[in-house]
Amino acid sequence: MARDCRCQLRPRRWLVLIVIAIVGLPTGCARSVKTIEHARAAYTAGDLQTADQTLTAFAEKRSRSSDTAALDLAIVELTSGDIDSAEARLRKMRDKFDQLPKLSIVGEAASVVTDDRARMYRPAGYEEVMVRAMLSVCSLAGDAIDAESYSLQAAKKQSELQQAAADRGIPSADQLYQPIALAPYLRGVLREATHHDFDDAENAYRLVSAAAPHFAPAAEDIARASGGAHSSAGHGVLYVIACVGRGPVLRETVAQTTSTALSIASAVLNAETNETDGPDGKRVNGPVLPNIASVKVPEVHIPPSPIAAIGIRTGGQLLGATQTLTDVGDLAIRQVEAEMPWTIARAVVRRTTKEATVAKVGDSLGLDGTAGTLFHFAAASAWAGSEKADTRCWGLLPREIQVFRAELPAGDHEVAMQSLGYTGQAIGPPVQLSVPIVDGRNTYRVVIAPAETIFVAR
């Protein structure tokens, strides 16, 4: 008889051990996150070697953060002038992300016993667009052969995101996922350089004006293309493509649950429950959502950066300064906020699953009344309290992509570039370049300045 009792108690003991193990699981990798942050700080400070070594080691590991390390490493490689490696790495990441299976809230939330950091890394929509945009920048820094193709890919991806958002009923999807100006701008520049596709160039510049009405040079670009003149006789064009400032990163915050998020979570849980029948052949009733007032979620943060633009001089005269074409930070903020109801819903689904698991364990232990309530409250609270928001992201994107166009006489020119603060004052050491200008042709220089120091990728 005693033996039978021990046999009956054994499953209960295993359930207790499972709950204890789950609650006590380490829910993140503080050392890994710190390492990536250290690499990002080194990059911002201009220590590219430390950033490269740290990120390379991390990207080669099979971990849940290796993809973000690889994305950051591509930016370091581009900044260091290793254009081929940066382009190859970004192409690899683009193809990998394209092959990911479709997201399932149930499959990735209800089955996870910790939090979103245990999920396979999935890039945010803006990151998928920027992979293609940065591929365009890499191409311009190299032979420029694939720059137009990459820019069209970026425009297509943004259009796909907009359509997907509209299909999901996200309000103002056309505004939240409006085209990025960089894509049509590069198409216009490259079409204009053919000296015969001026109509295509003009149409592209008009798209730029619509997507970025603040970009004043678009009016000149439209007028020039409509007139069918690439540049004056005996002149060529210098284009400076500048990646300026530290771009968007994710940090943890607490968000209040909303009726929209709870509705999504309820629909998901009901759909999952209704996939199986009860013992009597009837559909099992969906679970009741617990009273969840708030959950931990990621929010977009733009790290402070002293640089506003890059000034360009030649022959001792100021030609002008780069102007913002695409605000990457704003792009990230708008799209992450648009996805927030689903982010909150995933957290609610996960919390509901955890509470249901704790309740089953309590029932299996025969706990009821005050003892059952105390067990449920303590176990569920500890489990939920261990959660952290998933803040993995592409952390070395620029805050803005800026451009500057200058028409110069054919020949070699000494060009000086210097970072400018928000009041227009010089804040960093100038960089001197020898730039050959060819009659009737474009010359591209890609510069990257996360802070005061300017790096020339080409």
Strand partners, 327: 400
Residue 249: φ, ψ to 5°: -130, 170
Burial of 280 (0-12, 13-18, 19+ CB in 10 A): exposed
Element (H, E) at 442: strand 442-449
Tell me what pLDDT residue 262 has: 76
Tell me what pLDDT residue 385 has: 55
- Asked if 376 and 357 touch (Cβ cutoff 8 Å), the reply is no
Burial of 322 (0-12, 13-18, 19+ CB in 10 A): buried
How many domains, in total, are found in the chain?
1
Tell me what pLDDT residue 424 has: 93
Tell me what pLDDT residue 115 has: 56
Tell me what pLDDT residue 418 has: 96
- Asked if 456 and 82 touch (Cβ cutoff 8 Å), the reply is no
Alpha carbons 247 and 227: distance in angstroms, whole number: 37
- CATH number of the domain bearing residue 178: 1.25.40.10
Range of the domain at 45: 2-456
Give me the helix-helix angle, 198-211 and 217-226, nearest 10°: 160
Tell me what pLDDT residue 390 has: 87
Per-residue pLDDT of the chain (458 residues; tens, 9 = 90+): 444 444 444 444 444 444 444 444 444 444 444 589 999 999 999 999 999 999 999 999 888 889 999 999 999 999 999 999 999 999 999 999 999 887 655 445 444 555 566 677 889 999 999 999 999 999 999 999 999 999 999 999 999 999 999 998 888 888 889 889 999 999 999 999 999 999 999 999 999 999 999 999 999 999 999 999 999 999 999 999 999 999 999 999 998 988 888 787 777 667 655 554 555 555 555 566 667 788 889 999 999 999 999 999 998 899 999 999 999 999 999 999 998 988 888 888 777 766 555 455 555 655 555 544 544 445 445 555 567 788 999 999 999 999 999 999 999 999 999 999 999 999 989 999 999 999 999 999 999 999 999 999 97
Report strand pairing: 455-456 vs 442-449.
Answer: antiparallel
Element (H, E) at 399: strand 398-409
Tell me what pLDDT residue 264 has: 76
Alpha carbons 54 and 88: distance in angstroms, whole number: 19
Query: How far are the Cα atoms of 6, 142, 252, 278 from residue 369, in angstroms, in the given order?
Result: 24, 71, 36, 27
